[in-house]
Amino acid sequence: MAEKNTEDRKELMRKIKDEVLNLKGSALYEQRIKNKVLPVIGEGSHSAEIMFVGEAPGKNEAIQGRPFVGASGKFLNELLKSVGIKREDVYITNIVKDRPPENRDPTPDEIEMYGPFLDRQIDIIQPKVIATLGRFSMVYVMKKFGLDFDIEPISKAHGKAYEAKASYGKVQIFPLYHPAVALYNGSMRIVLKKDFEILKQYASN
């Protein structure tokens, strides 16, 4: 990739960060200021072939301003390592960039407000594969790419690839369970590890 293109991507990402930092129309912004925590924009390669999209930051993420750094983040690192993917080679983000109180699920209004930032991140990175982590991100991303009629419960959709057309070409949407489920249900660790093996194949093609 040309150096200028890399710089362009960095600059476009910086612009998103500035806009989120000043998103005063969001109730989550007020919570962020009150609790003296940070928004979580995302991290990783701006030219990643695989982009992981979670739902919203948790407590540890909001403190550090980084995605997936708590217990579920450690398991995500383990999953990546198990298939030989380096964390720095992928891009990891969430739909909602500020932490909802008490780690509750993001509301439709919050998803609507923060979703356009994710849309822009996808256009900047232009990944070959978008791996969604959890049902909220699965539904949002599949709807964004016009796959409304393909949406199934995550128990059926996980580990499958859904081909879609992005502004920059073909993209595979790959739903996954959120790594947090494995923290409460040990058998899900095996399911996620198998799904990551399938994910690696799509990223390599």
How many independent structural domains does the chain possess? 1
CATH code of residue 69: 3.40.470.10
Tokens of 130: 């978008």
Q: CB neighbours (10 Å) of residue 13?
A: 19
Q: Which domain holds residue 156?
A: 3-204
Please list the ranges in the chain whose pLDDT falls under 50.
1-3
pLDDT digits (tens, 9 = 90+) for 133-146: 999 999 999 999 99
pLDDT at 4: 54
pLDDT digits (tens, 9 = 90+) for 40-66: 999 999 999 999 999 999 999 999 999
> Are residues 194 and 187 in contact, defined by beta-carbon separation less than 8 angstroms?
no
- Strand-pairing partners, residue 164, are 171
- Cα angle 188, 200, 78 (rounded to 5 degrees) comes to 50
What is the spatial distance between Cα 36 and Cα 63, in angstroms, rounded to a whole number? 8
Cβ contacts of 113 within 8 Å, gap of 6 or more: 23, 25, 26
Tokens of 184: 């409460």
What is the spatial distance between Cα 94 and Cα 131, in angstroms, rounded to a whole number? 11
In the chain, count of helices (H) and strands (E)?
9, 6
Q: 61: part of which helix (H) or strand (E)?
A: helix 59-64
Tokens of 143: 């709807």
pTM for this prediction: 0.95
Q: CB neighbours (10 Å) of residue 118?
A: 24
Q: Identify the sign of the CA torsion 114, 192, 101, 60.
A: negative
Cβ contacts of 119 within 8 Å, gap of 6 or more: 144
